[in-house]
Structure 1
Amino acid sequence: MPSIKNYQKALLIALPLALSACGDDDTREVIVEVEVPAPVPTPVDVSYEVTVTNLTNGQPVSPPAIVLHTEGTLWALGEVPSVALERIAEEGTSDEFLTLGTVSAGGDGPITPGNNQTISVTIQDITNAKLTIAAMLGNTNDTFSGLSAWDLSQLEVGDSWTTNSPAYDAGTEKNTESAETVPGPATGGEGFNPTRDDTGFISMHPGVVSADDGLSTSALTVDHKFDNPVIRIKITRTE
């Protein structure tokens, strides 16, 4: 009897049948099709390491939010920011933003000037996910930086890609730079406020002015000013 291979095979069963018309035994072959379901494949992990480096001299970068998603964008220039992004841009809180994708991972603390942080994230069976990153510049009203919907299909295992990212203005809070509205260590002011009083859309950030350069409402100094780019992002596919 032949064995079953490739999950489906004709199985031959010999059945002895007695023929009444003659005294001899006769054997007929009956073909029975047997279908064996294919085994469920074991999920394959697709893993990345994302390293974010703070390029500023006086701005702490909030713990980066790393999100892998399969469709659309989570933020883009000219668009109205989501409340989840507003929370990052105004107070560095990423809990809500991290729920927006298929898989996500957050940093474990602020990144001080000149330092970096590496975050690992894994998704199963998907090599063409999009990668979005967002993190706040702490000594500002609503400044953030990051990467929007970068196509990870460009990376094979062992490949790396590096880019520098500028500062963006979430457009949710006026850039008064006041002690009451800047949440970072320079002032310790208010974080997220649901009231939006600025342009209402994401744009390139004009930069910190500071009290030293004549902004009467500012509690910041020239030490908190920054040039673009403000962060460096390195993505490596590890698995």
Structure 2
Amino acid sequence: MNRKANLTGTSGVYRWSAILGITALTTLLAGCPFDGDNDNVNDNNSDTDTFEVTITNLTAGQPFSPAAVIFHGQHWRAFTTGEPASVALETLAEGGNNASLLAEAADASQVYGHASGQSPIAPGASETVTITLPEAHNRDGLSVSVLTMLVNSNDGLAALNGVSLAALEERQSLHFTALSYDSGTEANTETVDTIPGPAASGGAQEGFNPVRDDVRDAVALHGGVVTQDDGMTGSVLRAQHRWDHPAMRVTVVRTD
């Protein structure tokens, strides 16, 4: 299953109550152009590059929140492993809302363009996001990041965190696999009240909570969920909600 999304298309219908309305908000943030002060950008913006970014969910039971897709220079990062998550990353990791992360990216001088996916991505499904950038191929260190929440978790992310597109020529594609990360901001209790995804239907399904109660306040590779099938009392998750690395596949095509 593959859906094509652009910056103005309508949202898909696959969603859960905790992130209802996120797509409409994040679509307003899409399409940040290059900084016009950079000498490599043509003043009339007549030359552009268009990229199609296809995000595929490789898990068996972890829907993805609407993905944040960000094109940027080599020195910008959405996060650094071993360091505390920003509030914007925490908001995405705990509740699936990418609006703050995209707004934060829009204010960064090394971010050249960004967009949100149109809807959640079901296990096994894909979505394609299209972004057009002025003179992108003339920029040294052009990179891409793709981030999404694994919504049947407390604060799990699938993330491609700043991979280089320097080798990507016109009408070529690059393929990447992405690891999963724990934002380190919320304890992995797996309860019906602390997970926003459909596995916790009937509970409070809390999303973002500013209180950080994990044992470490730092982003790290995710160790996976434990689940009630593994003997974790109080967990709402079952065996089908486990996942392995990689959790996500990303294909970037430079169409022109």
Task: Give the alignment's TM-score, normalised by structure 2.
Answer: 0.75
After superposition, where does 1:193-208 map in structure 2 within 5 Å?
193-198=209-214, 199-208=216-225
Q: Is 1:57 paired with 2:41?
A: no
Once the two structures are TM-superposed, the CA of residue 102 in structure 1 deviates from its matched residue by: 3.1
Aligned in 2, Cα 1:107/1:40: closer, same or farther, shift over 3 Å?
closer
Q: 1:236 matched to which residue of 2?
A: 253
Once the two structures are TM-superposed, the CA of residue 76 in structure 1 deviates from its matched residue by: 2.4
Where in structure 1 are there 5+ consecutive unaligned residues?
Answer: 1-38
After superposition, where does 1:90-239 map in structure 2 within 5 Å?
90-99=94-103, 100=105, 101-127=111-137, 128=139, 129-188=142-201, 189-198=205-214, 199-239=216-256
Once the two structures are TM-superposed, the CA of residue 72 in structure 1 deviates from its matched residue by: 2.1
Aligned in 2, Cα 1:45/1:214: closer, same or farther, shift over 3 Å?
same
- Higher normalized strand content (fraction of residues): 1
CA distance in 2, matches of 1:42, 1:130: 20
Letter in 1 for 2:67: P
CA distance in 2, matches of 1:156, 1:51: 17
Letter in 1 for 2:119: G
Aligned in 2, Cα 1:107/1:41: closer, same or farther, shift over 3 Å?
closer
CA distance in 1, matches of 2:93, 2:86: 11
Aligned residues: 201
Once the two structures are TM-superposed, the CA of residue 84 in structure 1 deviates from its matched residue by: 1.1
Once the two structures are TM-superposed, the CA of residue 81 in structure 1 deviates from its matched residue by: 1.1
**1:115-163 deviations in Å (ceiling 9; x for gaps):** 1001111111222322111000010000001211222222111111111
CA RMSD of aligned residues (A): 1.5
CA distance in 1, matches of 2:86, 2:50: 27
User: What is the identity percentage for the equivalent residue pairs of Structure 1 and Structure 2?
Assistant: 39
Conserved 8 A contact 2:160-2:177? no
Letter in 1 for 2:209: N
